[in-house]
Chains A and B, each alone.
Chain A
Amino acid sequence: MNSSYLLRRIGYGLVLMLCVVILNFLLIRLAPGDPAMVIAGEMGGATEEMLESIREEYGLNKPVLTQLAIYVGNVARGDLGQSFFFDQPVASLIAQRVGPTILLVIVAQVLSIVIGVVLGVLAARKPNGLMSGFVSVFATIGYAVPVFWTGIMLIILFASILPIFPVEGMQSVRLRDAGPLAKALDIAHHLVLPAFTLAIIYLAQYARLSRASMLEVLGSDYIRTARAKGASQRSVLFKHALRNAALPILTVAGLQFGNLISGALLVETVFNWPGMGRLAFDSILRRDYPTIMGVLFFASAMVVVANLLTDLSYRLADPRLRGK
């Protein structure tokens, strides 16, 4: 891999981010509703003077293009602005929320890949067997069911009817002063339902994808050769076939990262998970422009970086691409 390729990809990423910033800014301004009135509404009403002073304070009385220029300049300097609602820097609000979102997304990603691939491989072993049928049905259902519905069903089953898992956020408030181990277990306990909810839809996709890839690879000559050499079924499946079938899975995993982030928005809202998704959702309802744009900017940056890393890892995994 040469450095000019890397620089070119980073350059594309930066241009994309600039477009994202401008598009986000303009799209949010298209939504009806005056943020000053929302702040006034939260305050219980306001006089015209108070509304004017709110608009002045947050620069809402300037022309839109001036506001855009100021915003882009601030973002270029690393300043995401001040939340209209909380009167706190957007960066600090995001910093408080990014950890829980990353934890949720990574756990969901790992769960979906590991379980999905295992199911897919098992299904590929006997394409017309029971497992293969189960995976196909499960994948179709998992892919078709809306993520918030799954979440609500899991809440009804495992938090209401069988109160095994909590649904109020990421940690139990009563265990705030507990030791690190108890806290970690507490978080893991809270993570089970949201992570599975988010994982199910992608798990189904990975299962289908790995089944299809494995079926294709298992028909190859070198697999027949491996079997002829007396390699065990386990060795054929996981050492020879899966390694080659993994390339499309790797690509999809990178592309899915953006979907996982958007899926997290719904899951965080359903499970009261204190991440960026819920912050974005609440901020949209409050017309808290700087916070919405800050969250979208940060999420977009995460997706761009994830795609870049996927692309690079793809080249690392497949020697044939390195010279291109």
Chain B
Amino acid sequence: MKLIPRLLGAAAFAASAMSAAPVMAEGGTLVIVSNQTPRHMNGGVQSGIATAVPSTQIFASPLRYDENWEPQPYLAESWSVSDDGMSVTLNLVQDATFHDGQPITSEDVAFSIMTTKENHPFKSMFAPVESIDTPDAHTAVINLSQPHPALLLALSPALAPIMPKHIYGDGQDVKSHPRNTTDVVGSGPFMLEEFTPAEATILKKNPDFFIEGRPKLDEIIIRIVKDPSSMLIAMENGDADMYPFMAGSQEIRRLKEADHLEVTDEGYAAVGPLNWLAFNTANEKLSDVRVRRAIAYAIDRDFITKALHRGVSQPQRGPIIESSPYFTADIETYDTDLERANALMAEAGYGDGMELTIDYIPGPKEQQQSIAEYMKSQLKKIGIDVTVRAAPDFPTWAGRVGGHDFEMTMDVVFNWGDPVIGVHRTYLCSNIREGVIWSNTQQYCNEEVDSLLNAAAVEQDQEKRKALYAEFQQIIAQDVPIYYINATPYHTAYDKRLINPPKGIWGAMHPMDMIEWSE
């Protein structure tokens, strides 16, 4: 019977070991919790938050952006755009090296941009790039087939990691290259120490980082935790220091109550996550714009953001995130008007009502399922009998929507900084592709919209470009292929002792070389 006291003793010892403050080296460790599982570390051939957070620490890029959307030097110490907008010259820093000690040259830049153009799902980022000249080891001249104002933003860390040509240029498929997961070599502030799929990514300080005095931290650990409650407990108990991309209202409110934590919604301007209701405009009933407008007038956006989301999300009125410089407020916003909605339904010949289905992405319940269920009761007020179609998992939903087998669906789509990268894909007639999720799955086609988007894609004058996008937003608001509901309320919770938390336009998808502990 001496076993029990012994076990208790061991447990007590273990508990005391757990509660002891971790021994920190100078610089310290930052533990990030995330529910996103990265496939690998190479953001040049893979989009998404899961890869972008570690990729932007491991790989440097030509430029980085400040919180005012202004490009800043990174691997390129300076750059210039030709007067006709047909080329961009990057002048690289002289002494930058990859993690394996090899120097970074213009050849690496040329290789990386062309590889990303070839393999990244965001084809529009580098589509106009025809060739890249490398007149010397530290100069890269990007030649374009047409002016491409979105190019500078596409040279951000989240979208244009510079890969070592001596590793990725070995002829293997870069999308499934073994060095995307093991012994990954970049030139960013941190080096990959360990990547355990679906468990943790451990990044160590790059002692030879080309920006002197950075990074400040010794180590970043990205811990993958699938259960939201466990993530909250880890943050509350101090087992984790940062929780980016947190969107649940209960989570946000709960962590705001923790004295040692700060919770902010800054850091997601370029991500531009829009939560919306999409219409299949090829559907007989929904092809009538009056029906789509009637639905838009029936929905109460404020009820969704204030009641369903408990005030943590911001209403979204158009296709471009409201924090973007290209957003215009001068559009029809469809404030709730049931009388008008009923009149439109009658005008469209559906005065006796109709039946529709609504799909939603399984998982983020508050942003998707709850709104779909709200639609059911709300649209009943204008005679629409809505059936909510649940999907057991993402592949099922993606199959339905990608295959155009839907009538209405909730969806979340990111703007990704410049409209050319994340907005055009949803509206261009040429991007109606059956079987491809997050293409123009609404099957919406308007030649005027196409010509406005194509003109905005090449317009170098910022004011004229804004005007083109304003006109685009006004037409979309009239045509209503999509009803915009809210910006996904991404928040970052972090330990108050952290200095320079990720609040820039790319948030945690940005080098964390300036983050440090205050004590």
Q: Chain A residues near B393 (CB, 8 Å)?
A: 33, 284-285
Q: Chain A residues near B39 (CB, 8 Å)?
A: 39, 42, 85-87
B226 close to A278 (CB less than 8 A) = yes
Whether A274 is near chain B, meaning CB under 8 Å from some CB there, is yes
- Write out, one digit per residue, whether chain A residues 173-208 have a CB within 8 A of any chain B CB (1) or not (0): 111100000100110110010000000000000000
Contact status of A32 and B197, CB under 8 A, knowing A40-B436, A44-B48, A159-B233: no
B13 close to A44 (CB less than 8 A) = no
A57, A168, A175, A271 — most chain B CB neighbours (10 Å): A168
Q: Chain A residues near B200 (CB, 8 Å)?
A: 173
Q: Chain B residues near A37 (CB, 8 Å)?
A: 395, 398-399, 402, 435, 437
A179 to chain B, nearest CB (A): 10
Stretch at the interface among A46-54, A133-141, A219-227, A314-322: A46-54
B399 close to A96 (CB less than 8 A) = no
B396 close to A33 (CB less than 8 A) = yes
Whether A73 is near chain B, meaning CB under 8 Å from some CB there, is no
Q: Chain A residues near B45 (CB, 8 Å)?
A: 43
Q: Chain A residues near B40 (CB, 8 Å)?
A: 86-87
Give the distance in Å from the alpha carbon of A284 to the alpha carbon of B435 in the complex.
20
B433 close to A47 (CB less than 8 A) = yes
Which chain B residues (135-159) contact chain A, with CB distance < 8 Å?
none
Q: Chain A residues near B227 (CB, 8 Å)?
A: 167, 269-272
Q: Chain A residues near B221 (CB, 8 Å)?
A: 173
Interface SS, A side? helix
Q: Chain B residues near A272 (CB, 8 Å)?
A: 225-227, 230
Whether B439 is near chain A, meaning CB under 8 Å from some CB there, is yes
Give the distance in Å from the alpha carbon of A271 to the alpha carbon of B29 in the complex.
24
B31 close to A45 (CB less than 8 A) = no
Whether B438 is near chain A, meaning CB under 8 Å from some CB there, is yes
Whether A164 is near chain B, meaning CB under 8 Å from some CB there, is yes
A51 close to B223 (CB less than 8 A) = no
Stretch at the interface among B14-22, B276-284, B312-320: B14-22
Contact status of A32 and B122, CB under 8 A, knowing A40-B436, A85-B39: no
Q: How many residues of A contact B (CB 8 A)?
A: 59
Whether A155 is near chain B, meaning CB under 8 Å from some CB there, is yes
- Write out, one digit per residue, whether chain B residues 56-83 have a CB within 8 A of any chain A CB (1) or not (0): 0000000000000000000000000000
Stretch at the interface among B160-168, B234-242, B255-263, B450-458: B234-242
A33 close to B436 (CB less than 8 A) = no
Whether A264 is near chain B, meaning CB under 8 Å from some CB there, is no
Quick one: which of A41, A43, A96 contacts B398, CB cutoff 8 A? A41
Give the distance in Å from the alpha carbon of A272 to the alpha carbon of B437 in the complex.
30
A43 close to B46 (CB less than 8 A) = yes
A34 to chain B, nearest CB (A): 6
A155 close to B199 (CB less than 8 A) = no
Whether B387 is near chain A, meaning CB under 8 Å from some CB there, is no
A45, A159, A175, A185 — most chain B CB neighbours (10 Å): A45
B48, B433, B435 — most chain A CB neighbours (10 Å): B435
